[in-house]
Every structure is written in structure tokens, then in C-alpha cells.
Amino acid sequence: QLRRDDYEKFDYIIGMENLNLSYMNRILGGDPEGKVSLLMDFTTHPEDIDDTWYTGDFGGVYKQIKEGCEALLNKCIND
């Protein structure tokens, strides 16, 4: 579970959908340093990760997560 003191420990705090971000910001007390983002924000098409509970599209969600992780890794390597 995310805790308020995690904000000082980590450079990136990643959520899968906008609802996650709202909960995370509430727990953290805001995001003054811009550390909180969606995984897909690191790609060329920011969007929520689909929820397999509703879509049943495990393959599509895997592709989204893979793309987001690769984009985040590239950002970390190039910064």
C-alpha cells in the first residue's frame, strides 16, 4: 500500500488509470514535484490502462503495460 512517506523515497510513482492517480494524490497529500503519473504518460499516447475485469482483453492490456514499461525505461536511461 502506498504511504505518504513514499513520496520522498521515490522519483516515480506510477498508476494505471486516472482513478488510481486521484487516490494516490489523496494519500500523498498532492504532487508538488510532479512524481505521480500514469504508466502510459511515458508513451506517445497517454491513456488509462484497460481493466481486464471489464474488458477480458488480457493480450491488449499486456501490450499496453509492455509499451508503458519500455517507454519509462527509455526515459530513465536517457535522463
Q: What is the pLDDT of residues 29-66, one digit of tens each?
A: 999 999 999 999 999 999 999 999 999 999 999 999 99
Cα–Cα distance, 47 to 41 (Å, whole number) = 7
pLDDT-based confidence at residue 9 (cuts at 50, 70, 90): very high
79 has a pLDDT exceeding 90: no
Q: 29-32: long-range contacts at Cβ-Cβ below 8 A with a sequence spacing of 24 or more?
A: 29/4, 31/7
* Phi–psi pair at 7, nearest 5 degrees: -60, -40
